[in-house]
Structure 1
């Protein structure tokens, strides 16, 4: 049994949902690799002029939109704890 591939419409809807939930991140889906990416600039990774904790994350990737969402939520939790 093969896994159902998401349609381009499904991918666009997932990108829009991720962008709404994580507006500071650029969300990318690459059709050639079928992978999801999220990037942000270092400038955006700062709060009140201080680095966000010891780890500043500027790029994430995952096999699925849900996998990327989980990683983004983990980073958001880390950032909230650094405030």
Structure 2
């Protein structure tokens, strides 16, 4: 099953750009997902299990590294690119 997730990250810190960039870099380290970033959000595409594993790992990493962070996610069944 294919999945599309749109993620917006809001670090609760004065320096918010680095945590966002590093989160995107972490997502891009997963080979089985496709990541598209724009000025409003990051979109992740791929097989359901691969996308969920990547998001889970990256959100956990972000909480451990930066503490308080707000994530807003939208999940869509299927691949929005097609």
Instruction: Normalising by structure 2, report the TM-score.
Output: 0.42
Higher relative CO (CA 8 A, sep ≥ 6), structure 1 or 2? 2
Structure possessing the higher radius of gyration over alpha carbons: 1
Instruction: Normalising by structure 1, report the TM-score.
Output: 0.42
> Which structure has greater strand proportion?
2
